[in-house]
Structure 1
Amino acid sequence: MENKTVKSPVPPEIETTADRRRVPRTQLDPGRWVAAAIDVLAREGIAGLRVEVLAKRCGVTKGSFYWHFKDRRALFAAVLEHWKLGRIRDIEKTTAFTPGEEFARLNYVIEVYGANRNRKGMDIELAIRDWARHDAGAAAVVEAVDLYRLECTRKLFVAAGMSDGEAKSRSLLLYACVFGLSLMHYDPFDSNLPQLKQRIAERIVAA
């Protein structure tokens, strides 16, 4: 009779001992692997995303990884999808508005993205963008997120009474400003940075 290899129903991180009695250890689901990968990506970039590194960081064997992912590329795809969906949710939440409050919401968008309160979030964003410089799949995901960002704010400017052409230019200007500020060291440039940023915001959203 032909012998067939049957995949164990138990992930490697909780596989049994020699006598087949289960001895639970740390159990990881795909989401935990993706979260660990994103943390490494933010710190070390795409070059740091190695199965050995992640397994050691999570305190499990490489076998655990291959239980959940076919290969390293499958993990990469999961990381990109997780980041994309997370960005889209945040964009929708940030740009949601009630009719009549468009300008207030546009100022809020600038405040949220310009505040740079989430350093880790920016590190992840920069790591993803650096990855996109060398990988077509990552580039496609970044492009999709950027276009969604621009489209959501374009709709806000249109709802505020601007023409489509003007709305597009203001939308691009808005993100060029907030992302540019996140990359620059400008604290000594002005003694009252909050006021300076407010003047910039007023120019971007002015009717």
Structure 2
Amino acid sequence: MVTRIEWLDAGLELLATEGAPAITIERLTDQLGVTKGSYYHHFGSAGGFKAALMEYFEAQFTTRLIDTIDAENAKPRAKLEHLLRLVLADPDNAALEIAVRAWALQDPDVRATQERVDAARTAYLKELCRGVGADVDPDRYAQLLYLILIGAEQVLPPIGRAELREIYNLTLRLID
């Protein structure tokens, strides 16, 4: 039997590689090699799956990272640097982030999730930046850090993770 998490991972993979239109029950069951019964058992409907998928996306790519960094007994600057390393560690995340943003332009439920994710991420960055105590506006600095990531994911060709790390290193010098 396929677990709920396996369904959601398959959904995120399809979303990242082929976009929201690819997330159909047929594509998911083919990918997982199961029947539709398991899908309906876990999610009830396509709307239930979409809601669970967005909740899972938020938990995996926002809440989990914040919780990981918050658990550290470190100064805000060290937490900020660790957060940036975690975000840049998986180059495949960019495709998923782009796909979710594209979907959010067309679906109000996904848009609500994206707005919540963006708000949580920027609020956490602001919290960390306020703790650094630099001579820059911490709220604007936090926005800058987040916008660098989003912009780097949107340009074509995309900026590689190594180059993005260099850009962040340059940006972090503003608070030295």
What pairs with 1:108-119 in structure 2 (closer than 5 Å)? 108-113=82-87, 115=88, 117-119=89-91
What pairs with 1:73-112 in structure 2 (closer than 5 Å)? 73-86=47-60, 87-94=62-69, 98=73, 101-112=75-86
**Aligned equivalent of 1:16:** none
Q: 3-state SS of the aligned residue for 2:92? A: helix
Deviation of 1:179 (Å): 2.5
Of residues 155, 164, 178, the one that matches 2:149 is 178
**Normalization by structure 1: what TM-score?**
0.71
Residue by residue over 1:130-174, the C-alpha shift from the partner in whole angstroms, topping out at 9 and shown as x without a partner, is 1111111111111111111111121112222369x9221111011
**Normalization by structure 2: what TM-score?**
0.82
Change (3 A) 1:150 1:97: farther
1:146 aligns with 2:118: yes
Change (3 A) 1:109 1:60: closer
Cα pair 1:95 1:152 within 8 Å, conserved:
no
1:133 aligns with 2:108: no
Deviation above 4 Å: which 4+ runs of structure 1?
A: 95-99, 192-197
> For structure 1, which runs of at least 5 residues remain unmatched after alignment?
1-26
Distance 1:56 1:174 in 2: 40
RMSD between aligned alpha carbons? 2.7
Higher RCO structure (Cα 8 Å, ≥6 apart): 2
Cα pair 1:95 1:109 within 8 Å, conserved:
no
For the pair shown, the structure with the greater C-alpha radius of gyration is 1
**Aligned equivalent of 2:33:** 59
Residue by residue over 1:69-111, the C-alpha shift from the partner in whole angstroms, topping out at 9 and shown as x without a partner, is 2211111011001111112111332466646x22233333344
Amino acid at match of 2:139: K
Deviation of 1:50 (Å): 0.7
Change (3 A) 1:183 1:151: same
> For structure 2, which runs of at least 5 residues remain unmatched after alignment?
none
Deviation of 1:64 (Å): 2.8
Change (3 A) 1:89 1:73: same
**Number of residue pairs the alignment of both structures matches:** 171
